[in-house]
């Protein structure tokens, strides 16, 4: 037999052969599209640091939802952006049934019903005047337990607006247990809880803060995780599952593929990952300068996140990627 005896290249000879033996594929139904609904807009408004992403009006939100569903996207995650005058110390606009987030959830349910999964971001940061994810104590720190009470109320408000899934993202200790009990006590036993279980205090969130018009003062390092820690992430995930999380999420995604893989190995609930604004913006900026193949990098990053173990991926490319994937396979 001639050398080499083993020829792995046989399985790469043609596109058909490569498709046949491909180990990891991303399906459109595994993608979730984050959407921003801005109070008072009559037309969508571009977000300068997120090319192709907008703050929606209520009308454009419905259109974007319809496009996503038509492309086969598996879910929609809604963020509400209130008028600055509506923000206060406790983030009451996030609980108000007539606040922009709950209005938007009702609009989405009215538009798409059960044809996709409608999710609400469950956090106070968009609604507080200080931009933190909870209420502040007298010393300026985030008051964990006082915040939990508001999270419970916010979860019920979102469920009553029709959300299929609520996504507690504030990284407060005990938040999943409080949200689960609040939902159950209000008769919303079927509402799913997606836990932002391992959310890191990293540097990839800048464009998102433009999108939600963040008023953050200081940083979130006292409640989000240190980028160097993985054992801590696993502890957080295990606590959330014990408290009733139906799905757990790692955020950001690409810089934390090792964390995604470790979480996938540790739990038996679905694992999600959020390809955050900075991940998206880096690729868009490089592609705009002609330095990268935009679509190629888009799909490669999504595949890497899927390969690491995330079966649900939140990405601003969800609709476009879903269309490309349908054509590809």
pLDDT digits over 150-209, tens only?
999 999 999 999 999 999 999 999 999 999 999 999 999 999 999 999 999 999 999 999
pLDDT tens-digit readout, 92-120:
999 999 999 999 999 999 999 999 999 99
Band of the pLDDT at 309, cuts 50, 70, 90? very high
Domain 24-218+226-328 has CATH 3.20.20.70: yes
* Those residues with Cβ within 8 angstroms of residue 48's Cβ, 6 or more apart along the chain or in another chain: 210
Mean of the pLDDT values across residues 76-90?
94
Instruction: Report the 10 Å Cβ neighbour count for 200.
Output: 24
Which pLDDT does position 111 carry in this prediction?
A: 97
Mean pLDDT over each residue of the chain, to the nearest integer: 96
pLDDT at 273: 98
Task: Say if residues 163 and 155 touch (Cβ distance below 8 Å).
Answer: no
Across-strand partners of 37?
56, 80
Structure tokens at 304: 């890497």
Q: Which residues pair with 81 in a beta bridge?
A: 38
92-115 b/e (C-beta count within 10 Å ≥ 16 → b) = bbbbbeebbbbbbbbbbbebbeee
65, 71, 271: which is closest to 162 by C-alpha?
Answer: 65
**Domain boundary assignment for the chain:** 24-218+226-328
The reply, when asked if residue 209 is annotated as ligand binding, is yes
pLDDT band per the 50, 70, 90 thresholds, residue 276: very high
In this prediction, residues 213-226 reach a mean pLDDT of 89
Higher per-residue confidence, 327 vs 322: 322
Binding residue per annotation — 220?
A: yes
- Report the predicted TM-score, pTM, of the whole model to 2 decimal places: 0.96
Q: How confident is the model at residue 1 (pLDDT cuts 50, 70, 90)?
A: low
Residues noted as catalytic: 199, 251
Examine the pLDDT at 59 and tell me if it is beyond 80: yes
Q: How confident is the model at residue 328 (pLDDT cuts 50, 70, 90)?
A: confident
Closest CA relative to residue 134, chosen from 120, 121, 149, 113: 149
């Amino acid at each position: 037999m001639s050398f080499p005896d083993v020829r792995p290249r046989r399985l790469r000879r043609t596109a058909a052969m490569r498709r046949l033996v491909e180990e990891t594929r991303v399906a459109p139904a595994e993608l979730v599209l984050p959407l921003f609904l801005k109070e008072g807009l009559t037309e969508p408004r571009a977000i300068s640091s997120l090319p192709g992403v907008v703050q929606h009006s209520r009308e454009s939100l419905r259109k974007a939802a319809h496009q996503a569903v038509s492309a086969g996207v598996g879910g929609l995650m809604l963020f509400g952006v209130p008028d600055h005058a509506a923000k206060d110390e406790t983030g009451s606009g996030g609980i108000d049934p007539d606040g922009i987030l709950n209005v938007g959830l009702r609009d989405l349910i009215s538009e798409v019903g059960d044809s996709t999964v409608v999710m609400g971001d469950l956090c106070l940061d968009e609604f507080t005047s200080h931009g933190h994810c909870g209420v502040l104590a007298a010393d300026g720190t985030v008051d964990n337990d006082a915040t939990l009470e508001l999270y419970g109320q916010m979860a019920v408000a979102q469920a009553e607006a029709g959300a299929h899934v609520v996504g507690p993202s504030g990284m407060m200790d005990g938040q999943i247990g409080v949200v689960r009990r609040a939902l159950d006590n209000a008769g919303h036993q079927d509402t799913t809880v997606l836990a932002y279980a391992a959310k890191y205090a990293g540097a990839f969130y800048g464009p998102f803060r433009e999108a939600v018009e963040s008023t953050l003062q200081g940083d979130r390092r006292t409640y989000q995780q240190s980028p160097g820690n993985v054992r801590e992430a696993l502890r957080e995930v295990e606590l959330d599952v014990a408290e009733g999380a139906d799905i757990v999420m790692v955020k950001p995604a690409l810089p934390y593929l090792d964390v995604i893989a470790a979480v996938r190995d540790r739990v038996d609930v679905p694992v999600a990952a959020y390809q955050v604004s900075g991940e998206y913006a880096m690729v868009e900026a490089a592609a705009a300068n002609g330095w990268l193949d935009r679509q190629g990098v888009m799909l490669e990053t999504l595949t890497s996140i899927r390969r690491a173990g995330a079966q649900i991926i939140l990405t601003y490319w969800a609709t476009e990627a879903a269309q490309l994937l349908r054509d590809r396979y």
